[in-house]
Amino acid sequence: MNATTESKPAGFFEKMYNGESNFAFVAKRRRWYWIYALLTLLCFLVIALKGFTLGIDLEGGTKLTMPPANGATETSVTQVVEDATGITPQSVQTVGTGNSQNIEVASERLSDDQIREARVALYDEFQPADQTGQPSPDAISDSTVSESWGQSVTQRMIIGMGVFLLIVFVYITIRMERDMAISAIVTLLLDGVFVAGIYSLVGFEVSPATIIGLLTILAYSLYDTVIVFDKVHENTQDVLSSTRSTYGEQVNLAVNQTVMRSLNTSLFSVVPIASLLVVAVWLMGVGTLKDLALVQFVGVIAGTFSSIYFSAPLLVTLKSRQKKMVEHDRKVARARELASDRGTTPTAPEGTEGPAESLATDSAIDSDGSERRTVTLPRRTRDSDGEHNGAYGPDGVNGVNGEDRGRTWRPGM
């Protein structure tokens, strides 16, 4: 009795894992541009309207810290400090949990007399206890950072960011291409704008920990972008020597081949960061952890989407302005017209810009647009046991000398 075994078609997630999906990332790039333009505009509006809450380490100022006692709340502490000094605090927050819980009051730089008056007023109002459990004025601590020191930290931060971007640009230009470097830098800047907009909207304090977190997620976004560009570089090395596909189609193929890796990396990065954010904000109330977790959480998500939907399409846009790419696209279109006249061009696959690349013909076009030669290749078939038979190469695989050109790149290969 002969049993006929039919192979099931690959499912959606299997295709994504194997790099065989056909999402039109490049073909729909104008849609992504409009979405990113709208989001960028919204972020700038939020920043312009709300601004940032800068910590005293960046702006300079005075911070008063006291344990909550006798019903002390952020609102009541703010009122007492304002009445005592005549200055409205810039921010008041509760950090820590249990016996380590404290209320922190940050304001512009106060004089010694104003600090003394604020401490006396807070002690008289709430009678906070020190580490021995006895009410004491020493339970209220203060620290002051000068404006010049804060400006120095801010300047060094800006210089460090500029050096980071310059090194990234030079490295990608040398390792890959200048257009890839331009696309990567623009993507990093957009990621930074998105993180800044969210930070302004939420109102978290911008501290040195925030800047460290920002540099961390920019490096992560760069890593994700370079992974995509490395596959693009591999796919497009010989794109001009053949009329089978355009540069944009090969870039779209590279993004589809790496999309699952990007999503997997982002998922395993977001989960622990989200846990840190929940623990820092709702359970522990630790200000430093809160600032660091938020910037990393937003940055990882923004970096993942930008590496897929923006950096690669922007690269295609930059390349499409080059004369050699315009000429190559014209040759590809002409070759496909000639193949279509012979009825050898298959249906255009989803996710490509225009007709599908012809697997049955490889026509070279001269500069005057005339056909130079046409080579018809045998099609691949399968035996009943699912093995390839009659492939392009002499050894039965789709390639030359055993090279399997039909396989797609997947994570881990």
The pTM is what? 0.67
The pLDDT value recorded for residue 403 is: 43
Q: Is the pLDDT of residue 4 over 60?
A: no
Instruction: Please count the CA atoms within 13 angstroms of the CA of 331 that sit on its side-chain side.
Output: 24
Q: What is the DSSP string of 323-339?
A: HHHHHHHHHHHHHHHHH
Q: Per-residue pLDDT for 240 more than 80?
A: yes
Write the CA distances from 28 to 86, 236, 312, integer angstroms: 57, 20, 12
Measured CA to CA, the distance from residue 377 to residue 346 in angstroms comes to 14
Which range of 34-38, 67-71, 132-136, 205-209 scores highest in mean pLDDT? It is: 34-38
Res 43 pLDDT > 50 = yes
CA distance 413 to 401: 20
For the ranges 48-52, 109-113, 151-155, 374-378, the lowest mean pLDDT is seen at: 374-378
pLDDT at 41: 95
Q: Tell me, what's the pLDDT at 288?
A: 61
Residues 280-314: pLDDT tens digits?
666 665 556 777 777 888 888 888 888 889 998 99
Q: Please tell me the predicted confidence (pLDDT) of residue 381.
A: 45
User: Of all residues in the chain, what percent carry a pLDDT higher than 90?
Assistant: 8
**What pLDDT, on the 0 to 100 scale, is given for residue 243?**
84
Structure tokens at 207: 């501290």
Sign of CA dihedral 49, 53, 57, 60: positive
Decide which of 219 and 366 is more confident. Answer: 219
User: Which of 75-83's residues contact partners 24+ apart within 8 Å by CB, and which partners?
Assistant: 76/125, 76/126, 77/103, 77/105, 77/122, 77/126, 78/105, 80/118, 80/121, 80/122, 80/125, 80/126, 81/105, 81/107, 81/118, 81/121, 81/122, 83/121
Look at residue 3 and tell me whether its pLDDT is greater than 70. no
61-144 architecture in CATH?
2-Layer Sandwich (3.30)
The percentage of the chain sitting over the pLDDT mark of 70, rounded to a whole number, equals: 73
Q: Kindly tell me if the per-residue pLDDT of 44 is higher than 90.
A: yes
From CA 5, how far away is CA 201, in angstroms rounded? 58
Question: Which CATH number is 22-53+149-329 given?
Answer: 1.20.1640.10
Domain boundaries of the chain, sorted by first residue: 22-53+149-329, 61-144
Rounded Cα distance between 384 and 386, Å, is: 5
Q: 271 falls in which pLDDT band (50, 70, 90)?
A: confident
Residue 213 pLDDT > 60, yes or no? yes
pLDDT 10s digits, 328-364 = 888 888 888 888 877 654 444 444 444 433 333 344 4
* Token pair 């930074």 in the structure block, residue: 192
Q: Where are the alpha helices (DSSP H) in 279-319?
A: 287-306, 312-319
Lowest mean pLDDT among 27-36, 72-81, 370-379: 370-379
Q: 83: how many CB neighbours lie within 10 A of its CB? A: 12
Please determine, for residue 39, whether its predicted confidence score (pLDDT) is greater than 80: yes
